[in-house]
Structure 1
Amino acid sequence: MTQIANDRPTVQAAPAVGGGVLLAVVSATTFGLSGPLATGLFSTGWSAGAIVLARIGLAAIALAPFTVAALRGRWGLLRRQAGQILVYGVLAVAGAQFCYFSAVATMDVAPALLIEYTAPAAVVAWLWLRRGQRPSPLTLAGAAIAAVGLVLVLDLVSGAHLAWAGVAWALAAMVGATAYFLISADTGTGLPPLALAGVGLTVGALTLGVLAATGLLPMHASTASVAYAPATVSWWVPLLLLGLVTAALAYATGIAASRRLGSRVASFVALLEVVAAVVFAWLLVDQLPGLVQLAGGLLVIGGVVAVKLGDRALA
């Protein structure tokens, strides 16, 4: 992996930092919408593989014009950064999603998601061990607070079932998520955020297509209407939202946020995805969060704030 830049923050104007946080919140929120939308499609017979491939493929198509515009006059960047683009598309996009859905096929969603979202801790460890960026005590405290909040938000205290195969798949998804944050924050490649998002999604879609063609990714789809709490809609409505909002918009804003905030802070702000997923599950599929989950959400937010303040102390 090339130099992971923008991880020890430089002095930035307040609007730039605020814009990075806003982009990160948009990314986390839109990523969080994917689960509840997919739940509706699952109920009509869609397989995880079909949903993931359609989601990533639609996103790649949607970002194609912006990718071309961002690379105009700089096509040589694709050749020079081919290795990192391949790692991003295969590991951070296709790999992370394929491994996560493989995990939830053999274990409960809550522990699978919690294991995957140990990625922020992995980012801190990577930057400490490989880049010498020792986290401040406040950053470590924020990580601990956010971890406790995640346990409460995911309601693990009720005794979810664990399967070792699922744990292994979830850990593999964590590796993909860690790669996503680290590569997204790399400003040394010269690749514009939209270019990295578009090309990475294209590589990811092609990878998922190969997995589907070889039978490793089961493909089942349906044209039946999808029922959500507010209304019943045609099958293509959640599919478009998954591709355009939870993938195209989510990846583009997530990369732009990582460039402004650094992989460490961006990865912790991304924990808000779990909180967003709980809220959207309540609104779309009537899965009402309890008081414990709401308290966990507040702890996650508090942990993110602590990490951000600790990150500033390193500047």
Structure 2
Amino acid sequence: MSLAVNDPYASRRRGALGLGLALLSAASFGTAGSFADSLLSEGWSSGAVVTIRISLAALVLTAPALVQMRGRWRLLRSSLGTVALYGLVAVAGCQLFFFNAVERLDVGVALLLEYMGIVLVVLWVWARTRRRPRRLTLAGIVTAIAGLVLVLNPSGGLDLVGVVWGLLAGTGLATYFVISSRTDDALPPLVVAWSGMVVGALTFGVFALVGVLPMRAATTSVELFGQQVSWLVPVLGLSVVAAALSYTTGVGAARLLGATVASFVGLTEVLFAVLFAALSVGQIPGLPQLAGGLVVLVGVAVVRATDSSADVTQEPDPAIADARPAEVGA
């Protein structure tokens, strides 16, 4: 079965499926902070956390990726440049930069800086099309970012080096959404995620061997969900849920929604992260954070209503016309 862009009913189904995948991806990504924090607090280095995360995720996805690639290896070969960039910047770089920022800043501040990358997505679309974003899109940016400030409630002085790491993570996030929406639609999202993780894992492996990337790990128990658990629990959570599942669904969502809408729906990762932190480590959000969450949702809804009405249900946006083909096999 195929979903055609010029079929209103099929377009609505395409948009609904894309939105569902984007929310699932955001929820999965939202677990990463709590899982990683439990390891970092026990002496793990950020390089070790990221390396084991993407290496195990690549291993988990290897079998299904090989099955999906039977007879279609030429598609992967033709996309090697894009896949390499995706693996180096969107997968490996973004994660490493974020965890480096977390070591110097509050998690909330690091997240806020990372999500500045969404502004870069809008600017990229603007530069590519030479068309200024709609007023409602710009209003959505301001609203969503204001909501993030309330949710994350950053306060106190900022470490300049940590700020730089956070902004670099934002660049990686923007690259993730843009490349995810532009990869060849014939290349399954799972294969895109798997190949990017393989590139990232191999890169970090080389860096570790030459001593560029510090690797510190421990096999002691960690605190999670209010009790001591094996270090394997957060490692598996990071690899299977916060990497394999999140990246695969994220690529699929970006293809269906386009980079701009997918990136703004991705803002809900912050809300999921707050919820998961409350359940796993007992961090209950206050009223300002809850209010900020509602503001974020309003901003996401505005961008979803304005951009998706043009990009999905009507004519394709020239910015992503070459990123989303007319049909998607289902």
Return the TM-score normalized by structure 1: 0.92
- Residue 182 of structure 2 corresponds to 186
**Cα distance in 1, alignment partners of residues 26 and 235 from structure 2:** 19
Deviates more, 1:40-49 or 1:89-98: 40-49
- Residue 166 of structure 2 corresponds to 170
* Unaligned segments of structure 1, at least 5 residues: 1-7
**Cα distance in 1, alignment partners of residues 212 and 99 from structure 2:** 12
- The code of the aligned residue for 2:251 comes to I
Correspondence 1:219 to 2:215:
yes
CA drift of 1:161 comes to 2.4
Q: What count of residue pairs does the alignment treat as equivalent?
A: 306
Correspondence 1:141 to 2:139:
yes
Correspondence 1:231 to 2:227:
yes
- Residue 127 of structure 1 corresponds to 125
**Cα distance in 1, alignment partners of residues 236 and 61 from structure 2:** 13
3-state SS of 1:135 partner: coil
Cα offsets for 1:257-315 (capped at 9, x unmatched): 11111110000011111111111111111212111011111111111111001113433
**Cα distance in 2, alignment partners of residues 132 and 70 from structure 1:** 38
Aligned with 1:245 (options 235, 241, 256): 241
Indicate how the Cα distance of structure 1 residues 50 and 96 shifts in structure 2: closer, same or farther if over 3 A, else same: same
Percent identical among aligned pairs is 48
- Residue 3 of structure 1 corresponds to none
Deviates more, 1:233-242 or 1:185-194: 185-194
Contact 1:29-1:276 at 8 Å conserved across structures = yes
Contact 1:9-1:311 at 8 Å conserved across structures = no
CA drift of 1:112 comes to 2.0
**Cα distance in 2, alignment partners of residues 60 and 114 from structure 1:** 28
Correspondence 1:294 to 2:303:
no
Alpha-carbon RMSD: 1.8
3-state SS of 1:185 partner: helix
Indicate how the Cα distance of structure 1 residues 189 and 23 shifts in structure 2: closer, same or farther if over 3 A, else same: closer
**Cα distance in 2, alignment partners of residues 183 and 172 from structure 1:** 16
Runs of 4+ off more than 3 Å: 8-12, 187-190
- Residue 56 of structure 1 corresponds to 54
CA drift of 1:111 comes to 2.1
Matches within 5 A, 1:142-161: 142-156=140-154, 159-161=155-157
CA drift of 1:16 comes to 2.0
Return the TM-score normalized by structure 2: 0.88
CA drift of 1:189 comes to 6.0
**Cα distance in 1, alignment partners of residues 90 and 74 from structure 2:** 22
**Cα distance in 2, alignment partners of residues 218 and 263 from structure 1:** 33
Cα offsets for 1:207-257 (capped at 9, x unmatched): 122222233322111221222234322111111111011100000000011
